[in-house]
């Protein structure tokens, strides 16, 4: 279920999909990231990717991202294995 | 069946048991002589299982008391155990994470299960990658499934998340090792 990023109850270590404009959070247009912490009101992602190939670590979520939803099992699987391969 | 679904089914079964117990107690003079009898009729009708299966997989684990927590655990174990299938009849998907077991039932402790990604089948042997134990110890990067592991099921979302967590920890360890090497140089 998609929610607003502000005030969302994130779980550390969980994978989320973020979208700037689409409440549907379509996987292919989203930023995927593992929630780490919130610093001064900004979400910090331990690992993040847009294409499941290039991964960045310790990335602060851009303020432009307004929508978030938890990943599905299939998305978690794809992230998990691609991160294992390409990181 | 994922964890949330399992929990829902467990709750439904327990609710049904409670309902039947309450209805029975409402009759004047009724006393419960065997809680197992109540559990049996409800569980068998809800799961549609034979008497033989019930006796073999469930009955001996059920408590004689009205401890619904214990009943919950037994039902949960049964649900997990019955989704294991024989490897030779199983349709694998490449790169998917599976749980392998030597036994179908959950009497076999989960600590003895193996987690691995399906890569393919070679000469009848299942080839898996990132094969690891439940405690996270990686047994092999890629190779045939150890002999004896003849039952399999799809890993749940939680198991996938745990698997990912172990990968992340490994990744952190690797980064730290590289940093230490750079510092030493």
Is residue B75 over pLDDT 90? no
> Taking Cα atoms as reference points, which of B139, B58, B61, B73 lies closest to residue B100?
B139
Residue window 121-160, chain B: list those with CB within 8 Å of chain A.
Answer: 130, 156-157, 160
Q: What is the DSSP letter of B11?
A: H
> Taking Cα atoms as reference points, which of A42, A36, A37, A15 lies closest to residue A27?
A15
Distance of residue A64 Cα from the nearest chain B Cα, in angstroms: 27
Q: For the domain bounded by B85-184, which CATH number is listed?
A: 2.30.30
Which residues of chain A make contact with B165, given a CB cutoff of 8 A? 13
Q: Model confidence at B103, in pLDDT bands (50, 70, 90)?
A: confident
What's the confidence (pLDDT) of residue B82?
A: 66
* Most confidently predicted of A31-40, B81-90, B110-119: A31-40
pLDDT of B39-57, one tens digit each?
Answer: 887 787 777 777 777 777 7
What is the ipTM score, two decimals? 0.73
What's the confidence (pLDDT) of residue A44?
A: 95
Please say whether the beta carbons of A74 and A48 come within 8 A: no
Task: Enumerate the domain spans of chain A.
Answer: 3-86
What tokens were used for B90? 């199983």
Distance of residue A41 Cα from the nearest chain B Cα, in angstroms: 25
Mean pLDDT by 10 residues, chain A (87 residues): 83 91 86 92 92 91 92 88 69
Q: Residue B123 contacts by C-beta under 8 Å, 6 or more apart in sequence?
A: none
Q: For the domain bounded by A3-86, which CATH number is listed?
A: 2.30.30
């Amino acid at each position: 279920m998609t929610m607003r990023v502000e005030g969302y109850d994130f779980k550390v270590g969980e994978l989320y999909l973020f979208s700037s404009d689409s409440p549907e959070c379509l996987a292919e247009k989203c930023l995927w990231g593992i929630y780490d912490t919130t610093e001064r009101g900004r979400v910090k992602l331990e690992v993040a990717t847009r294409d499941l190939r290039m991964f960045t670590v310790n990335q602060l979520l851009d303020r432009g991202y307004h929508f978030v939803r938890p990943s599905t099992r299939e998305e978690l699987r794809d992230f998990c294995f691609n991160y294992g391969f390409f990181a | 069946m994922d964890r949330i679904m399992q929990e829902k089914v467990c709750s439904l079964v327990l609710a049904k048991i409670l309902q039947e117990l309450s209805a029975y107690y409402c009759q004047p003079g009724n006393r419960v002589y065997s809680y197992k009898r109540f559990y049996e009729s409800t569980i068998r009708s809800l799961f549609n299982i034979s008497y033989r299966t019930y006796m073999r997989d469930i009955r001996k684990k059920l408590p004689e008391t009205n401890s619904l927590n214990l009943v919950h655990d037994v039902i949960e174990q049964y649900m997990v155990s019955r989704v294991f299938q024989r490897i030779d009849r199983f349709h694998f998907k490449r790169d998917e994470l599976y749980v392998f077991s030597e036994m179908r039932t959950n009497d076999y402790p989960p600590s003895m299960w193996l987690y691995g990604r399906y890569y393919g089948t070679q000469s009848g042997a299942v080839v898996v990658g990132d094969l690891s134990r439940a405690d996270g110890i990686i047994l092999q990067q890629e190779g045939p499934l150890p002999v004896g592991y003849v039952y399999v099921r799809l890993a749940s979302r939680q198991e996938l998340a745990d698997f990912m967590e172990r990968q992340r920890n490994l990744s952190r360890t690797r980064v730290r090792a590289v940093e230490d090497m750079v510092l030493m140089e």
